[in-house]
Amino acid sequence: MPGSRLHPRVPVKRIFCLFLFAVASAGVLAQPVKLAGPDGASLSGEYLRPPKGSSNAPAMLLLHGCGGLRTKSGAISARPARMGALLQELGYGVLMLDSFTGRGVREICTVPIPQRKIDTTLRADDAQFAISWLRARREIDGNRVGVLGWSNGASTVLRLIGRTTPNIKVAVAFYPSCKRALANDQYDPEIPTLVLIGEADDWTAADDCKQLDERLPGDTFHVVTYPGVYHDFDTPNTSLKVRKDVPDGVKPGAGVTSAPDPKATEDAYRRTFKWLSLWLDPTRNPSIWRDGYSQQGRKPAP
């Protein structure tokens, strides 16, 4: 069982039905978009409009990992494609942001962290521009925007929520590196954030995230861990792989492991949809929207 105090209930059958929808339609409904980025950069992405007829819909920004948004063939990677289609079916507008292609970068997984030209600070800047783009759309409720990221994109999420005004209401981070945030004694985010990570992850350490969770007051920074589960556990159509070409892991130079885990994925997706609904749906928990989340008098209303 995962280590957690949260027990959301979204019907499993519903998730699998949505998964089939995602596989069938993710690549069809996405609309290529261009938007301005920091320092005059031109960012690209794929936008999934909320279901037809929707107005004032919530929206989610999806941030890819170090491998980029696209496969070598140019298709959207399976992980954001699936999540994007699931969220769209649930009523969200979804922007899958590409921080690499417009800068001539294919991937950064094999680049040592100190040598990367695109770091989480720059990607958090990209995210701020993308959030503004989402908030300005007529079909989107600008007060109900969240962000979700994987791996390097999840680390970007942690960087983003540490800012004073990220202009989002909720965040989800799949297996981020919590090392930098843990080392910063001033790190104290106010955005409700769900972190999902495997305890066997040798790419980003679960222990760092658990220590960060213990240090931060309240329960709006919430970490769920999965025993025996590795990095990339929710990536579909993959198998266990040890990557020796990745220099930065829990044990630098030893390589990193990625492996799918259907049970962890099912639980993580259920928790994700519950978490987003809690903070982005005013009818789901009206008291939160009316009174705000109060823990030691420091958490603002969502």
Q: What is the pLDDT of residues 17-59, one digit of tens each?
A: 444 444 434 444 799 999 999 988 899 999 999 998 788 999 9
pLDDT tens per residue across span 240-250: 999 999 999 99
Averaged over 92-107, what is the pLDDT? 96
Residue 36 lies in a domain: yes
Percent of the chain having pLDDT more than 70?
85
CA atoms of 280 and 277, how far apart (whole Å) = 5
pLDDT at 73 over 70: yes
Q: φ, ψ for residue 107 (rounded to 5)? A: -160, 160
Take residue 127 and report the two structure tokens written for it.
Answer: 């995210």
- Total domain count for the chain? 1
What is the Cα–Cα distance from 193 to 6, expressed in whole angstroms?
13
Q: What pLDDT sits at residue 57?
A: 96
> Angle 276-149-135 (CA atoms, 0-180°, nearest 5)?
60
Sheet holding 140-150, edge to edge: 31-36, 42-48, 93-98, 57-63, 140-150, 170-174, 193-198, 221-226
What was the pLDDT predicted at 257?
98
Distance of alpha carbon 173 from alpha carbon 155, whole angstroms: 7
- In CATH, what number is assigned to the domain containing residue 244? 3.40.50.1820
What's the whole-number average pLDDT of the chain? 88
Q: Which residues contact 48 (CB under 8 A, 6 or more apart)?
A: 29, 30, 31, 84, 85, 87, 88, 92, 93, 94, 95, 96
**Is residue 29, in this structure, part of any structural domain at all?**
yes
> What domain range includes position 274?
12-283
Q: Express as a percent the part of the chain with pLDDT over 90.
A: 78
Task: Decide if pLDDT at 298 tops 60.
Answer: no
- First and final C-alpha spacing in the chain: 29
DSSP H/E element including 256: strand 256-258
Model confidence at 285, in pLDDT bands (50, 70, 90)? Answer: low
Instruction: Decide if 9 contacts 284 (C-beta within 8 A).
Output: no
Task: Assess if residue 292 is contained within a domain.
Answer: no
Q: What is the per-residue pLDDT for 55?
A: 87
Greater model confidence, 98 or 295:
98
- The reported pLDDT for the residue numbered 27 is 41
Q: What is the pTM of this model?
A: 0.88
pLDDT of residue 54: 80
Would you say residue 22 lies in a domain? yes
Query: Looking at the domain assignment, is residue 291 inside a domain?
Result: no
Tens of pLDDT, residues 166-224:
999 999 999 999 999 999 999 999 999 999 999 999 999 999 999 999 999 988 999 99
Residue 6 maps to a domain = no
Average pLDDT over residues 128-154: 97
